[in-house]
Amino acid sequence: MKKSRAADAVVFGVVQGVGFRPFIYRLAKRFGYKGWVKNIGFGVKIHLESQEADDFNLFFQALTKEKPPLSQIENIDREPAEFSDCRQFEIKKSIHSQSFVFISPDISICENCRKEMLDPEDRRYRYPFINCTDCGPRYTIVKALPYDRAQTTMSHFKMCSQCQKEYTDPSDRRYHAQPVACPECGPEVEVKKSSTGEKIKGGIHQASVLVKQGSILAVKGLGGFHLVCDPFNKKAVDRLRKIKRRKTKPFALMASGLHVIERYGMMDTYEKEQLCSAQRPIVLLRKKKDIPGIAPFLSEIGFMLPYTPLHYLLLQDLDLIVATSSNPKDSPIMKDEKEGINALCDYVLTHNRPINMRSDDSVMKVVDKKPLFLRRARGYVPYPQKVPESLVSQKQILALGGELKDTISIYKNGYVITSQFLGDLDEYQNYTYFEETIKHLSGLFEFKPDVVVSDLHPDFHTTRYAERMGIPHLKVQHHYAHALAAMLEHHHDGRKKALGIILDGFGYGGDSTAWGAEFLLADYHTYTRAGHFKYMPLPGGDLAAKQPWRMALAYLIDAYKSDFPQVESIARINRKKRDHIQQMITKDICCPRASSGGRLFDAVSYLIGLAPEQAEFEAEAPMRLESAADDIIESFYDFEISGDSVPYIVSFSHTIRSIVSDLNKNVPIPIISARFHNTLSEALVQMSEKIRNTHGINTIVLAGGVFLNKFLLTRTLQTLENKNFNVLRPVQYSPNDELISLGQVAYALAKKP
């Protein structure tokens, strides 16, 4: 910038409520500048004055480098300004305006606060609600904007004089930290026996003793209650499984430090980085030493580090705990004792700082050094996503997502905010959570939609909700929305088409059939179906997704017609049941057809003896299949791509025959599983090359729930990149249906009036 005595700058991004203004205040003092800083609609405005002509470059370099940990800078606009001879540097009061202010997600305790908490001389020694402008709760405690204490669930705690002093001193690291508190004036914990409500003395320490003794403890965290027990106490783990009605679904663990995780899981630098990040997600790691009963039949196990001061204190006496969200099956995480927490545990460790918005823990794997989200929630929501310049619109858009693993997204002024994972909306309580979240986000961001977007599926709750809103309503095909979301996240050039390879369960197709594994040539405006997996019968419809053996039978009959060789896993099925389903398939009774990706995994997983007869949770069969795969194996089976022009059809009948033949030759299961994964990957790569040759595309999008499979994703990514494809995959979002609402926004933006 040209030298002058004064400069103005506007910093855009997540810069409010994260200690940005006091940070600028301290920085300006360090540089000896006068002037002011204040919050404005989109960000923070800074006015700097220097005693002599200056380009202010060093100041802005320091700003970018040292910015507060919770802030996220999108852009800085700078220009020379009029010198007005300011006397000092001050933080000006902000005027609340019609605007789009970004709120920070909830972030784990920072190093400074942790040190204070463990210092016996500090007035907040062992205080479980210690926080500062760099850390602590945000999204889950704020009720409305502006982000002020009065608008959070801390409003009924009156600050003591010492806290007040810290809160109002711009040089203090708690200046305007809205949840600031201390043992004198802030929230308190309480331990209670759940059956009687009897208060238990001894606080957090006693709670940890109870866990050691085998109790199940509910712990109120940031976005809701965890259920906690000792992972090495088989009786406790079994009881917890009974309570949660989960026989095999894995539990996540919280460890006191990396040194504990190291004993049980294998970690590389990037996985460590994620575990230790301020967002503190659950990271799935390959097992080094198994803890029986925690993640049965799987090769990975989920770990996280403590993220609230309360968790830190609890884990001072315990190395490792099971920390699973406190929802009974199919309902959202509990945020309030009144929601029935007592029925799920022996003791409750609770406190009197209310949670306004519930939010689950985020879950990820690390692939190719970057996150692969299984669930995006606490720590990441509501960070904004900037949309490509060409899509920016004045409209406000509400996108409602799909039905399973739903999220909603809102668009305003160039940014999208996607909600936390909301679950399956066919469950009444999740549907209420969905409505709660629309209300919460609308309030926070002063959002009033001009347009609503839903899935094509006529029976989804979200589609009906959209119809009832009485505003312009757009509908987007499910798989197309997956592709659009990844294109938007990576700011894909709108003038070029990409090939979206979307491997998913089901989505309502553009032709009203059930689509599942799709190759879509897409830009932001439209798509064509360039290929799909062969349609297969789903014996019994929805039941086929829950009982993998039905799909195994369907694929066998497809591969061999009626006379297929003996397969051990099929022989185990009750003969009458088996004959019945076989008849259904051959006579085409109650067998809707779909081009599913997930169901192919179900079938193979069952066929080779890994999947149970009845799956307990979604993706159980594919997860077991992936867990078994030996990643040294490079070979793959035969498959078939047919058709002279688009849509090409990919068929795996040859693959199924080869698998049966390998089984009968007693080829080890890890080799068969790896070969199957490699086959799929090879099919995707061959399709990509075919369509590159005919249609000149070079960008591939990989999305859909099947790409949560790390083996498949890693292999496919590597091969495509070796062949010089530009590959986009969701990194800030999950590739599963949580992604749909973001893609719906992209579509509505491209549809300019």
Applying CB under 5 A, the residues found at the interface with Zn ion are: 110, 113, 132, 134-135, 160, 163, 182, 184-185
Compute the least distance from the CB of residue 124 to Zn ion, in Å.
9
Compute the least distance from the CB of residue 66 to Zn ion, in Å.
16
Mapping DSSP to helix (H, G, I), strand (E, B) and coil, where does residue 582 land? helix
Query: Considering beta carbons, is residue 110 or 703 the nearer one to Zn ion?
Result: 110
Which tokens sit at 18? Answer: 């994260």
Compute the least distance from the CB of residue 141 to Zn ion, in Å.
15
Q: Which residues contact 402 (CB under 8 A, 6 or more apart)?
A: 455, 457, 460, 462, 478, 481, 507, 737, 740
Compute the least distance from the CB of residue 112 to Zn ion, in Å.
5
DSSP structure string for 119-162: -TTSTTTT-TT--BTTBB--TTTB-SSS--GGGBTTTTSPPPHH
Query: Considering beta carbons, is residue 132 or 501 the nearer one to Zn ion?
Result: 132
Query: Considering beta carbons, is residue 113 or 218 the nearer one to Zn ion?
Result: 113
Parallel, antiparallel, or unpaired for β 225-229 and 397-399? unpaired
Compute the least distance from the CB of residue 113 to Zn ion, in Å.
3
Query: Considering beta carbons, is residue 171 or 512 the nearer one to Zn ion?
Result: 171
Mapping DSSP to helix (H, G, I), strand (E, B) and coil, where does residue 261 land? helix
Query: Considering beta carbons, is residue 183 or 203 the nearer one to Zn ion?
Result: 183
Query: Considering beta carbons, is residue 70 or 656 the nearer one to Zn ion?
Result: 70
Query: Considering beta carbons, is residue 182 or 615 the nearer one to Zn ion?
Result: 182
Compute the least distance from the CB of residue 15 to Zn ion, in Å.
18
Strands of 622-736, DSSP E: 640-642, 648-651, 699-703, 726-728
Compute the least distance from the CB of residue 149 to Zn ion, in Å.
12
Mapping DSSP to helix (H, G, I), strand (E, B) and coil, where does residue 64 land? helix
Query: Considering beta carbons, is residue 307 or 527 the nearer one to Zn ion?
Result: 307
Q: Which residues contact 48 (CB under 8 A, 6 or more apart)?
A: 6, 7, 8, 9, 28, 33, 34, 35, 56, 59
Query: Considering beta carbons, is residue 19 or 402 the nearer one to Zn ion?
Result: 19
Q: Are 303 and 255 in contact (CB under 8 A)?
A: yes
Compute the least distance from the CB of residue 110 to Zn ion, in Å.
4
Closest Cα to residue 332, out of 417, 436, 439, 228? 436
Query: Considering beta carbons, is residue 44 or 110 the nearer one to Zn ion?
Result: 110
Compute the least distance from the CB of residue 122 to Zn ion, in Å.
13
Query: Considering beta carbons, is residue 115 or 288 the nearer one to Zn ion?
Result: 115
Query: Could you count the other beta carbons within 10 Å of the beta carbon of residue 562?
Result: 9
Compute the least distance from the CB of residue 49 to Zn ion, in Å.
31
Q: Which H or E run contains 28?
A: helix 20-31
Compute the least distance from the CB of residue 640 to Zn ion, in Å.
59
Compute the least distance from the CB of residue 142 to Zn ion, in Å.
17
Compute the least distance from the CB of residue 163 to Zn ion, in Å.
3
Say how far apart CA 385 and CA 362 lie, in whole Å. 18
Residues in the chain: 753
Mapping DSSP to helix (H, G, I), strand (E, B) and coil, where does residue 25 land? helix
Q: Which residues contact 741 (CB under 8 A, 6 or more apart)?
A: 399, 400, 401, 406, 407, 408, 409, 418, 419, 453, 481
Query: Considering beta carbons, is residue 134 or 738 the nearer one to Zn ion?
Result: 134
Query: Considering beta carbons, is residue 107 or 333 the nearer one to Zn ion?
Result: 107
Compute the least distance from the CB of residue 225 to Zn ion, in Å.
23
Compute the least distance from the CB of residue 117 to Zn ion, in Å.
9
Q: Is the dihedral of CA 263, 266, 268, 271 positive or negative?
A: negative
Compute the least distance from the CB of residue 697 to Zn ion, in Å.
48
Q: Cis bond leading into 647, ω under 30°?
A: yes
Which tokens sit at 752? Answer: 């300019």
For 654, counting Cβ atoms within 10 Å of its Cβ (0-12 exposed, 13-18 middle, 19+ buried), the class is middle
Q: What is each CA distance from 293 to 236, 249, 252, 345, 394, in whole angstroms?
A: 11, 10, 12, 19, 53
Query: Considering beta carbons, is residue 132 or 313 the nearer one to Zn ion?
Result: 132
Q: Which residues contact 124 (CB under 8 A, 6 or more apart)?
A: 116, 117, 130, 182, 183
How many degrees, rounded to 5, is the angle at CA 261 between CA 256 and CA 262? 130
Strands of 419-511, DSSP E: 451-455, 473-476, 498-508
Q: Which H or E run contains 241?
A: helix 234-244
CA torsion angle 570 573 577 581 (round to 10): -20
Mapping DSSP to helix (H, G, I), strand (E, B) and coil, where does residue 200 land? strand
Mapping DSSP to helix (H, G, I), strand (E, B) and coil, where does residue 299 land? coil
Mapping DSSP to helix (H, G, I), strand (E, B) and coil, where does residue 598 land? helix
Query: Considering beta carbons, is residue 308 or 393 the nearer one to Zn ion?
Result: 308
For 171, counting Cβ atoms within 10 Å of its Cβ (0-12 exposed, 13-18 middle, 19+ buried), the class is exposed
Query: Considering beta carbons, is residue 163 or 545 the nearer one to Zn ion?
Result: 163
